[in-house]
Amino acid sequence: MTELDDIDGLAAEYVLGTLSREERLTVADRRAVDKALDRAIGAWENRLGSLVETVSPVAPSPNLYNKIRAQIGLSQHVISLKSREQALARRANRWRNAFAGATALAASLAGVMVYRDAIVPQPATQYVAVLDAGSDKPAFLLTVDTKTNMCVITAVNPPKQSDKTYQVWMVSDKMPKPKSLGMMNEPGEMQAMPMQAGPEMDLFMNASFAVSVEPIGGSPTGTPTGPVLFTGKLIQATP
């Protein structure tokens, strides 16, 4: 007759379910480091697993699936929000650092006034919105410095529009219609605008930003008329 060695006997009883609470905990810990035990347990799970087929099914309460869904939905929501924010912040920081020098140079060559402090400010006061089309390459970057009350919009790398222009919009449910923040076209082009602390800044911080394609000279109606290609919201750049 086949005899079970110590490991096999322990594995078999663990799977069978006859061990005491302490023994179960010990085996559960030990299998994590004892590969032979872990394999033996797996083998017994397969040997005895078919017994489950002889158990009569019992229909679960109708709301059980919703409870499970809620548990999953909740944790997913938390994870996805957190990881998306972290990914955006990393990207925003990367682009901000890469473009702080390059755009300053480009802008100064173009004779545009550069608010350096607004581009590379104190970390805790810096907010960034990466306006993209869901891809990894930001088209526009919008930074807000709540210390200097300055907003800078940079056209990072939008696809070239021949006889059209990009127009940047702020969208908020607190406003009857989107507000134009200006028109931009050339990669590296940037616009800086001072803001007022208080309600204006608060509105700005909670708004969404969008970039549409408009005729040269801007939207004729004062609201976006062309396709909205890029969108984004402000997040803290350096948590």
Partner 1 sequence: MPPRDPKLENLLSGVAGGDEAAFAELYQATASKLLGVAIRILRNRELAEEVLQEAFFKVWERAGDYNSSIASPITWMATIVRNRALDEARRRVIRPSGDESELENIESGDEHPIAALERAEDVERLLRCLDGLEPEKKEIVRLAYLDGLSREALAARFNRPEGTIKTWLHRSLALLKGCLEQ
Contact (CB, 8 A) for 129 and 95? no
Stretch touching partner 1 by CB under 8 A, among 10-18, 196-204, 214-222, 231-239:
10-18
Question: How many Å apart are CA 190 and CA 104, to the nearest integer?
Answer: 9
Within 10 A of 63 (CB to CB), how many other CB atoms are there? Answer: 9
Residue 24 binds to partner 1 (criterion: CB under 8 A):
yes
Residue 109 binds to partner 1 (criterion: CB under 8 A):
no
Q: How far is the CB of 84 from partner 1 (least distance, A)?
A: 14
- Residue holding tokens 């990393």? 90
Question: How many Å apart are CA 116 and CA 97, to the nearest integer?
Answer: 12
Residue whose CB is less far from partner 1, 45 or 186: 45
Q: How far is the CB of 117 from partner 1 (least distance, A)?
A: 43
| Structure tokens belonging to residue 150 | 């300055």
Site string for partner 1, 45-84 (x = CB under 8 A): xxxxxxxxxxxxxxxxx--xx-xxx-xx---x--------
Q: How far is the CB of 58 from partner 1 (least distance, A)?
A: 5
Within 10 A of 238 (CB to CB), how many other CB atoms are there? Answer: 15
**Smallest Cα–Cα separation from 142: which of 126, 129, 133, 155?**
129
Within 10 A of 231 (CB to CB), how many other CB atoms are there? Answer: 19
Q: Report the length, in residues, of the chain.
A: 239
Q: How far is the CB of 112 from partner 1 (least distance, A)?
A: 45
Contact pick of 19, 120, 192, 203 for partner 1 (by CB under 8 A): 19
Residue whose CB is less far from partner 1, 69 or 94: 69
Residue 21 binds to partner 1 (criterion: CB under 8 A):
yes
Residues that bind partner 1 (CB under 8 A): 1-4, 8-9, 12-13, 15-21, 24, 42, 45-61, 64-65, 67-69, 71-72, 76
